[in-house]
């Protein structure tokens, strides 16, 4: 089994930045599990379906979700169509959090996610990677930050993408999603008992990545020689 790093935590705690940077610096596979729930939610929103577990699971079975391109900045394909940008919209975030509460959907998506643990080392991010998907991962990180820091980060990110939402809307959105992700019966968001918790409030991305990489490199089974030169053009 390959070396696995899991990064869990609430939205805008720094998971994506950290996971992508680790994957890129070490040349490892990157797994964005949120993208699965987002892509499925986008399809459900478009089709006005998946109101309950049975319908949502049926929809998931009829859906193909794939990633293409550079692992650290992969494009997301939904039934063959590129939805990389579309799945980041705020209504899709809420839809993803809703559809992710259905046990049948989770069972199927977790199964798909596990198949990606092949021969190469992997760094994955999500909500349940250290607790459910890869409970035997070598390194488990849980990233968190205070709610105001996270709301400001997400607001800036959305503004960068040209989405006009107010900070208050982002705060409300985040509160709703946090509450749902933490309180659902199946695989709620929580740190694994053996996770290293990093509070990234007040940290810039470089510090986050440095702190996470230090934990990864300190593992006794860290595959030495895993460092690869930066890819050209990245």
100 lies in the binding site for ligand DC (CB under 6 A): yes
> What is the 8-class DSSP label of residue 65?
E
Q: Which helix (H) or strand (E) holds 57?
A: helix 53-61
In the shown chain, the binding pattern of residues 104 to 133 toward ligand DC, with x for contact by CB under 6 A and - for none, equals ----------------------xxx-----
d(CA 172, CA 206): 28
Q: Which helix (H) or strand (E) holds 66?
A: strand 65-68
Residue 156 backbone phi and psi in degrees, to 5: -65, -40
173 lies in the binding site for ligand DC (CB under 6 A): no
The residue (of 159 and 228) whose beta carbon lies closer to ligand DC is 159
The residue (of 49 and 231) whose beta carbon lies closer to ligand DC is 49
Residue of 11, 17, 57, 208 that binds ligand DC (CB under 6 A)? 11
Smallest distance, ligand DC to C-beta of residue 37, A = 4
d(CA 48, CA 62): 15
Strand pairing category for 75-78 and 65-68 = antiparallel
d(CA 124, CA 34): 10
d(CA 198, CA 142): 6
Residue of 24, 25, 72, 97 that binds ligand DC (CB under 6 A)? 97
Residue of 34, 71, 121, 130 that binds ligand DC (CB under 6 A)? 34
Spatial neighbors of 21 by CB under 8 A, at least 6 apart, are 72, 205, 209, 213
Residue 176 backbone phi and psi in degrees, to 5: -65, -45
The residue (of 96 and 108) whose beta carbon lies closer to ligand DC is 96
Q: Which helix (H) or strand (E) holds 25?
A: helix 15-26
57 lies in the binding site for ligand DC (CB under 6 A): no
Residue of 3, 37, 67, 142 that binds ligand DC (CB under 6 A)? 37
Smallest distance, ligand DC to C-beta of residue 220, A = 27
Q: Tell me the residue number closest to ligand DC, measured at CB.
A: 34
The residue (of 92 and 225) whose beta carbon lies closer to ligand DC is 92
Place of tokens 């993408």: 161
The residue (of 33 and 149) whose beta carbon lies closer to ligand DC is 33
Residue of 181, 195, 212, 216 that binds ligand DC (CB under 6 A)? 181
Place of tokens 């069972």: 107
| Residues binding ligand DC (CB under 6 A) | 11, 33-34, 37-38, 93, 96-97, 100, 126-128, 177, 181
């Amino acid at each position: 089994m390959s070396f696995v790093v899991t990064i869990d935590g609430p939205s805008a705690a720094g998971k994506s930045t950290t996971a992508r940077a680790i994957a890129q610096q070490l040349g490892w596979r990157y797994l964005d599990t949120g993208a699965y729930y987002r892509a499925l939610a986008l399809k459900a929103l478009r089709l006005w379906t998946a109101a309950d577990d049975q319908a949502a699971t049926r929809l998931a079975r009829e859906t193909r979700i794939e990633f293409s391109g550079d692992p650290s900045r992969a494009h997301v394909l939904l039934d063959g169509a590129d939805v990389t940008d579309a799945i980041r919209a705020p209504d899709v975030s809420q839809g993803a959090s809703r559809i992710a509460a259905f046990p049948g959907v989770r069972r199927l998506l977790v199964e798909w996610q596990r198949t990606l643990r092949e021969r190469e080392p992997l760094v994955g991010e999500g909500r349940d990677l250290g607790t459910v998907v890869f409970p035997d991962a070598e390194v488990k990180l849980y990233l968190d930050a205070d709610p105001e820091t996270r709301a400001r980060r997400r607001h800036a990110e959305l503004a960068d993408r040209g989405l006009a939402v107010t900070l208050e809307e982002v705060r409300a959105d985040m509160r709703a999603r946090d509450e749902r992700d933490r309180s659902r019966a199946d695989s709620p968001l929580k740190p694994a008992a053996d996770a290293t918790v990093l509070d990234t409030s007040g940290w810039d991305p470089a510090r986050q990545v440095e702190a996470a990489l230090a934990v990864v490199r300190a593992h006794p089974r860290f595959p030495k020689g895993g460092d690869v030169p930066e890819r050209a053009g990245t």
